[in-house]
Amino acid sequence: MANVYAKKVGGTWFGVVFDGVRVSATTFGSTEKGVMQNLKESVQQYVPLQRLETPSTFAEHLVAVLKDIYDGKGFSEKFSFETGSLSNYARRVIEAVCLIPPGYVASYGGVAQAAGGSPRAVGHVMASNPFAPLCPCHRVVRSDFTLGGYGGGLDVKLAFLKRERRGYSSKKTVETKGGNIQLFPVESVMNRLEGKRHLPFRA
């Protein structure tokens, strides 16, 4: 039995599925119905779900973290994910993407270099990411700094990245179990979309 909780905060619905302190799925959206449907589709069909009318401390905390991410804030806490329904490859991709901090983006190809597979394979995992935005798939873009795809719509992805702008001017790398991922400031995406000349960021 897994617990389900949804709450509207600041005009946006946030939803979570969890068992104890292990997260099975997270999502957000404009309607409660849409959020609940997304949560049901993200968990294994044979897992019974119990709707919480009175939230637990963990449920409220998790929703608060989702709201912070939605607002462009960072968080340092590590959550335990229930990934039993995912392939080993999907787990590697999700673990890698979870390490991309606010203010930076990685390319699908960059993630693929660390997790294996191809940029297209990474895109497929991101399209079915059951932990958005806790696992920040909105921070994965094309190698030319255009947005690529996003289940919630490209306007939502762009809004996320705008809220996460930090004014960084340097590239950085993040170490994963499979290798390093090169990260670029969010400004790379904004410059590309605004038609500005690409500025070479410092290493």
Tell me whether the omega of the peptide bond preceding residue 136 falls within 30 degrees of 0, making it cis: no
Lowest pLDDT segment from 43-57, 96-110, 151-165, 179-193: 43-57
Active site residue 137: yes
* Beta-bridge partner residues of 4: 17, 51
Structure tokens at 84: 């039993």
- Cα 174 to Cα 3, 81, 178, 188: the distances in Å are 33, 20, 11, 17
137, 140, 147, 189: the active-site residue: 137
Average pLDDT of the chain, as a whole number: 92
What percent of the residues of the chain are helix, what percent strand, and what percent coil, each to the nearest 5? 35, 25, 40
- 3-state SS of 39-87 is HHHHCCCCCCEEECCCCCHHHHHHHHHHHHHHCCCCCCCCCEECCCCCC
Q: Where in the chain is the domain with CATH 3.30.160?
A: 2-80
Sorting pLDDT into bands at 50, 70 and 90, what band is 197? low
pLDDT band per the 50, 70, 90 thresholds, residue 200 = low
**2-80 CATH fold:** Double Stranded RNA Binding Domain (3.30.160)
What's the topology of domain 87-193?
Answer: Arc Repressor Mutant, subunit A (1.10.10)
- pLDDT class of 203 with cuts at 50, 70, 90: very low
- pTM for the predicted model, two decimal places: 0.93
